[in-house]
Copies of this chain bind each other. A is one copy, B any other.
Amino acid sequence: MTGRLHLNAFLMDNGHHEAAWRLPESDPHAATDVAHWQHLARVAERGKLDSLFLADSPVVWGGSIARRPAAALEPTLLLTALAGATRHIGLIATASTTYNEPFNLARRFASLDHISGGRAGWNIVTTAGLDAARNFNLTALPAHRDRYARAAEFVEVSLKLWDSWDDEAVLADKTAGVWGDDARLHPASHTGDFYRVAGPLNVSRSPQGRPLLVQAGSSESGKDFAARYAEAVFTAQQTLADAQAFYRDLKGRAAALGRDPETVKILPGIVPAIGATEREALALEEELDRLIRPEYAKAQLAEHLRVSPEDLHLDRELPADLPDEDSIQGAKSRYTLIVTLARRERLTVRQLIGRLGGGRGHRTFAGTPEQVADAIQHWADNGAADGFNIMPPVLPRGLEDFVDHVVPILQRRGLFRTDYEGTTLREHYGLPRPAPARGLAAAR
């Protein structure tokens, strides 16, 4: 049975709650232990989830490793290791268009798609933050708008490279001594504002043709970009109304570009603290919030808001005079989300820190498996989601609880598959394998 929901496991070292590593059960060295990640991948596959996903930024955040695990294995390599530990689940890696070369990155995703038998996905990010820029020869952050223009051209080049070998290009004609047909090779021949790439790629066309394209930006540029390129969209939404508005908006933008809105799957994030009883779930949430060190969290919040830590007081609301949104060149949508959440619910800085520490702006939720399933179904039934980005606050426990207790409820309700029916990530998401595009206007 198929079901109509799509579920992605968003994995992060000891879990999404910033204090998860401090729980007695947590291994604080898990971030660099491939066995930890292999276990998580196998649990997610036991739950028949569509995919698992790794976020990424090429930086030690804020230059500090004090607050939480700060070692991050490179995602395309880590997913390659997880491909060997699993057989079905999709593997989505974040990678930056600002700090990679299209030839190298397109090749890594084509390689991951071959190695995993068609399970590769790319979460396309433009990478905010001066910290990152300073690791790549820059002294200033490229402007928000420029990063998206570069990202669009980066994706266009990548599409040309993935399509540079026809599916039938490898003849393997031993008798004639002809391995490949040069007539079925199509150089990228790309010359644009940011890139000149001759091509062809040196990897044959992969099982999926190209990786699943994922995007998570929520700024205006981000939504336009997603509407044009994304096949799955991860998004942070706090309320049903906001999620419905985002869903309508993005599907509308895709339709306006001539795309079938069904081919853009929208997955809001949810951080479910799961307990056998509601009281148990709330106790977990409270224990985690108690383990946050507020001075670290306040410093991080100040950095997000582009203010000095001294301007924030733990038991007061945010100051009234914050920087104007338009002046933010970094993670613009993250900024807006934090400020909106704080103002709407009139949260003190301490309360805001608890909410953000749990899910960095994603929807946190404490409840029984039945309540979590209800929350998921409620949004899915009301035009707010095609599926969910599951962000367990504690790993591996939170993923095990979700897979063993929430997934069976969704399956009984006919909302989620009881087994994999396809072999590729695209098949899990109900998306077709693209034919190679040919010609200049070919990308879409």
Residues of A participating in the B interface, judged by any CB pair closer than 8 Å: 19, 21-24, 26, 28-29, 32, 34, 57-60, 63-74, 76-78, 80-81, 83-85, 99-101, 103-104, 107-108, 111-112, 114-115, 131, 134-139, 165, 169-170, 172, 174, 177-182, 185, 187, 195-204, 291, 293, 296
Contact = CB atoms under 8 A, between A and B. Distances in A.
A162 to B, nearest CB: 13
B202 A169 contact: no
Q: Main SS of chain A's interface residues? A: loop
A259 to B, nearest CB: 30
A57 to B, nearest CB: 8
A68 to B, nearest CB: 6
A19 B104 CA distance: 28
Given A63-B185, A80-B80, 13 more contacts: A57-B202, A58-B104, A58-B202, A63-B200, A65-B182, A71-B170, A71-B202, A73-B114, A74-B108, A81-B115, A84-B85, A137-B195, A177-B291
Given A32-B204, A84-B84, A139-B196, A177 B115 contact: no
Contacts of A21: 172, 174, 179
B108 A104 contact: no
A76 B77 contact: yes
A24 B175 CA distance: 10
Contact of A174 (B22, B34, B180): B22
Contact of A182 (B64, B99, B135, B138): B64
Q: How many copies does the complex hold?
A: 2
A174 B28 CA distance: 8
30 contacts: A21-B172, A22-B177, A23-B174, A24-B174, A29-B170, A29-B172, A32-B114, A32-B204, A34-B114, A58-B103, A58-B202, A60-B200, A63-B200, A64-B182, A64-B185, A65-B169, A65-B179, A65-B181, A65-B185, A72-B202, A78-B111, A78-B115, A81-B84, A100-B101, A101-B136, A103-B135, A103-B136, A137-B197, A138-B196, A139-B196
B135 A198 contact: yes
A115 B33 CA distance: 7
B66 A178 contact: yes
A138 B170 CA distance: 29
A197 B138 CA distance: 8
A37 to B, nearest CB: 9
A115 B101 CA distance: 24
A115 B77 contact: yes
A282 B182 CA distance: 33
Nearest to A107: B74
A72 B103 CA distance: 13
Nearest to A83: B81
Contacts of A138: 196
A28 B204 CA distance: 13
Contacts of A165: 65, 71
A19 to B, nearest CB: 7
Contacts of A74: 104, 107-108, 111, 203
A60 B60 CA distance: 36
A64 B180 CA distance: 8
